[in-house]
Amino acid sequence: MSTELTPEPDFTDLDTYLDEAGADGYLVDADGSSSTQRYLSGFDAPDPFITIYTPEKTALLVSALEYGRAQTESRADSVSRLADYDYRSIVSEYNATTAKARVTAKWLQEHDVKCVVTPERFPLGPADTLREHDLSVSAEADDIVTTIRAQKTETEIEHIRDAQAANEAAMETAAKLINSATVDDEILYYDDEILTSERIKQAIETTLLQHECALDETIVACGSDAADPHNRGHGPIYADEPIVVDIFPRSKQTHYHADMTRTFLRGTPDETLINWFELTQNALTTAIDAIEPGVTGQYIHDIVCDIYENAGISTLRSDPTAETGFIHSTGHGVGLDVHELPRVSPDGGKLKPGHVITVEPGIYDPTVGGLRIENLVVVTDSGVENLTTYPITPLGT
Amino acid sequence: MSTELTPEPDFTDLDTYLDEAGADGYLVDADGSSSTQRYLSGFDAPDPFITIYTPEKTALLVSALEYGRAQTESRADSVSRLADYDYRSIVSEYNATTAKARVTAKWLQEHDVKCVVTPERFPLGPADTLREHDLSVSAEADDIVTTIRAQKTETEIEHIRDAQAANEAAMETAAKLINSATVDDEILYYDDEILTSERIKQAIETTLLQHECALDETIVACGSDAADPHNRGHGPIYADEPIVVDIFPRSKQTHYHADMTRTFLRGTPDETLINWFELTQNALTTAIDAIEPGVTGQYIHDIVCDIYENAGISTLRSDPTAETGFIHSTGHGVGLDVHELPRVSPDGGKLKPGHVITVEPGIYDPTVGGLRIENLVVVTDSGVENLTTYPITPLGT
């Protein structure tokens, strides 16, 4: 690997935050589908469990069912069971959710934790029960853990590379369907049936499954669908119109994501589309070349806006009410969440080594269609490394 | 349809609950992956949005991006935008999450809502901001909405039937792989490659995708894996050993689930397994035949325990520390969540028309293997209707 990143997350900023807030620890009550829970605990379980992070140690409180696995799989220094705290008899007096919170209070007191900070979306019911037991509980809205999560370790980047490899195989599946389709009366056919957005999405998702990745949604949007960046696409694929394919799979094993967009076109693109494609490819390359530690996400976004505006394309920067042109941000962080920090947008802060971000310029206009090209890159100690090897080929065949 | 159920959910119990609690409404702040949010709002969006239910009306507060779709797709009587409440300028003063909660406070006041009940896992940050703005916010731990959700309407049961049709197609895919495999040295082969749990799961998930269903996990567990009801299964499939296949897909469109288990075996089952299979099939049939409105989930669970215990099989009822025998509950509700109310377990309450439940007796012992048979049924006005048409075939080929 050319990147030189830390093998383990660095929680120094969290320690400083807790110290300044006068808090003993950071408390999470969530199941493994919560990225912050997964990140802090190093553990995945289908039902909510409790993690307390303190500068000295990380401890977990889990059900008996998860106890053995939590001891071997999590990153916790200590694991406790609800049953260790007389859980069953408390349940019979209260209900299960209140009982769990009462046990959490006892367990925190045993760990000398009296004052905790939590994620903004920590559950209210348990929080109120903890407060009734003289614990100080306050939700933070400062992105403290998500900011740490944004800087990936070498291991995390390997997980993202693996998801991206699956993503590229899926993109190739889509490209093959589109490129080997026959065209009849402006409509694409494959195996004598109309090639639809739905068929391509199913082929993409099947390929991802074969690579142990999953996703609930994929964008395969043609024609006027492609002109709306939020449209998932539906119905027949037409010749001479751009087809936006945006795939953002999650590894079933590691839960890390990848993200990539390509725009295809069967037939002959009109002059405007050819210009837009070249402009967008130029915006992509120029923006990526400018990425290095210390520059801001805003600066990278401005580069893309400059290129578009100089070519007469409207952007949300030049016109906040624009409905055509470049009408979204340049990119976003990718990790355990498919959209996470840092921002590559008007309010994007400084980029740091280990930030994995998308760069995805695009132009949209219902009278012409839409196109977008998106690569996934990682900020390195000295600049940037492209995590995307899938080619960008000119429109039209 | 033979069931005669209401076409719309009945919120009378929620109205009574709010009245008794002295609350004006039930407040939800969650994205569409929350089943309670989806149920009350009738809306799905990838980012959190706000729903207030009052006995008079249901209102939504959404981002500009979701505004048009919320007006046409949701069940709300009124839809507001964050932007209608000066959101942008509040964001510039605070951060996005605090700003959203401040707007929510204004919006609730405009709807004459001063006191709300929320789900137990309502987010703490917004709750505290609402409280600072003189709203009374309390989390309920009484399963009030999940209890209403347990009684399905005719439309909801149709959605579950659709998911079950996909489930049966997927089970057939698994059965064909197992039944057409060749056996060499006790190991199953398909297309000259070892037939593994992973290959069967991939085939199941591909079939589900073709039927517009998704799932993240499937159980295909053979031999000692099958003897642990929580084991997802891995590695080669062996002859003469039971193979537990448990599939619980979610419709990508409606988000309703189905759930079914079958146990297969290639070769010759030993005498114990044959007895266990007959016993389990008898427990399944007897339990389902006893289902009707008014009987309790506990009663159904006791029927299964009686049959097993009378045959000398240990259960958690006869021995709470049992590690072999029938070591889980008889079943659970199925709907927007794959595990929801009602319980068919030692603490299961009265069954009501519209309850969709699994009945899934099974026996587990690492020295023999494990087996389970699971059907999905709906409680009707007069009794029970089986939603499962997939056959139960004796072990061995």
Identify the weakest region by mean pLDDT among A89-103, A176-190, B333-347: A89-103
Residue A4: what pLDDT? 53
Per the document, the length of chain B is: 397
3-state secondary structure chain A: CCCCCCCCCCCHHHHHHHHHHCCCEEEEEECCCCHHHHHHHCCCCCCCEEEEECCCCEEEEECHHHHHHHHHHCCCCEEEEHHHHCHHHHHHHCCHHHHHHHHHHHHHHHCCCCEEEECCCCEHHHHHHHHHCCCEEEECCCCHHHHHHHECCHHHHHHHHHHHHHHHHHHHHHHHHHHHCEEECCEEEECCEECEHHHHHHHHHHHHHHCCEECCCCEEEECCCCCCCCCCCCCECECCCCEEEEECCEECCCCCECCEEEEECCCCCCHHHHHHHHHHHHHHHHHHHCCCCCCEHHHHHHHHHHHHHHCCCCECCCCCCCCCEECCCCEEECCCCCCEEEEECCCCCECCCCEEEEECCEEEECCCEEEECEEEEEECCCCEEECCCCCCCCCCC
Amino acid at B17: Y
Residue A6: what pLDDT? 62
Does the pLDDT value for residue A2 go beyond 50?
A: no
Q: Please report residues of B whose CB lies closer than 8 A to that of A248.
A: none
Least Cα separation, residue B252 to chain A (angstroms): 7
What are the pLDDT digits (tens) for A346-394? 989 999 999 999 999 999 999 999 999 999 999 999 999 999 999 999 9
Order of strands, edge to edge, in the sheet holding B78-81? B78-81, B58-62, B49-53, B25-30, B115-118, B136-139
How far apart (Å, rounded) are the C-alpha atoms in residues B73 and A267?
36
What are the pLDDT digits (tens) for A257-283? 999 999 999 999 999 999 999 999 999
Residue B207: what pLDDT? 96
Contact B121 A120 (CB under 8 A): no
Contact A199, A174 (CB under 8 A): no
Does the pLDDT value for residue A324 go beyond 90?
A: yes
Does the pLDDT value for residue A185 go beyond 90?
A: yes
Cα distances (angstroms) measured from residue A187 to each of A178, A194, A222, A271, A273: 11, 7, 11, 21, 19
Contact A97 B118 (CB under 8 A): no
Least Cα separation, residue B289 to chain A (angstroms): 31
Q: Please report residues of B whose CB lies closer than 8 A to that of A139.
A: 123-125, 128
ipTM of the complex: 0.91
Least Cα separation, residue A289 to chain B (angstroms): 31
Confidence of residue A3 (pLDDT cuts 50, 70, 90): very low
Contact A209 B202 (CB under 8 A): yes
Residue B303: CB atoms within 10 A of its CB come to 21
Using an 8 Å CB-CB cutoff, list residues of chain B that contact chain A.
Answer: 65, 95, 97-98, 118, 120-128, 137-142, 202, 205-206, 209-210, 214, 216, 230, 252
Residue A169: what pLDDT? 98
Contact A125 B137 (CB under 8 A): no
What are the pLDDT digits (tens) for A55-75? 999 999 999 888 988 999 999
More confident residue, A94 or A144: A144
For residue B230, what is the nearest residue in chain A, using CA coordinates?
Answer: A65
Contact A141 B97 (CB under 8 A): yes
What are the pLDDT digits (tens) for B120-162? 999 999 999 999 999 999 999 999 999 999 999 999 999 999 9
How far apart (Å, rounded) are the C-alpha atoms in residues A220 and A281?
20
Residue B4: what pLDDT? 53
Domains of chain A, start order: 12-149 (3.40.350.10), 151-386 (3.90.230.10)
- Most B CBs within 10 A among A90, A209, A347, hence the mutation to make, goes to A209
Contact B123 A121 (CB under 8 A): yes
Q: Please report residues of A whose CB lies closer than 8 A to that of B202.
A: 209-210
User: Which positions of chain B have pLDDT values less than 70?
Assistant: 1-7
Residue A8: what pLDDT? 78
Contact B118 A141 (CB under 8 A): no
Least Cα separation, residue A231 to chain B (angstroms): 12
Residues B43-65 as b/e (b if ≥16 CB within 10 A, e otherwise) read bbbeebbbbbbbeeebbbbbbee
Give me the residue label for tokens 């900020």.
A379
Contact B128 A118 (CB under 8 A): no
Q: Please report residues of A whose CB lies closer than 8 A to that of B216.
A: 214, 252
- Most A CBs within 10 A among B209, B250, B329, hence the mutation to make, goes to B209
